[in-house]
Amino acid sequence: MLPRAHRIVSGAELREVQRRGRKSSTPFFVIARAQGKTNYASRWGFVVSKQVGNAVIRNRVKRRLRDLAAREISANPIGMRAVVRALPSSAEASFADLADAWTETLRQAER
């Protein structure tokens, strides 16, 4: 579970991070990362459109992505904002596939 303090809930903030953030993509999702204020908790937002699938599939994808973000908070607990936009192929991906893509994407973003 991703604690509320670590979630982006404002639509304006989601759009700002997507516009100004540095983007990294995989076949399953696109992550836009932006530096936040250094004394605030890292925050994550998720966008899963109807193109991904029906409500059951969208919610499953969101749960998986939130779980990956919760694991990332221990590595980057302060000062990062990120928005993850799921692509339609994420509906067919296993959790292991998503986790591998997640690790690779964040590794690329650090370079």
Using CB atoms within 10 Å of the CB of residue 16, give its burial: 0 to 12 exposed, 13 to 18 middle, 19+ buried.
Answer: middle
Within 8 A by CB and 6+ apart from 106, the residues are 24, 31, 72
Per residue in 86-103, pLDDT (tens digit) is 999 999 999 999 999 999
Model confidence at 111, pLDDT cuts 50, 70, 90, reads: low
pLDDT given at position 34: 87
The 10s digit of each residue's pLDDT in 12-32 is 989 999 999 899 989 999 999
Q: Which CATH class is domain 4-110?
A: alpha beta
pLDDT of residue 109: 63
Q: Residue ranges per domain, the chain?
A: 4-110
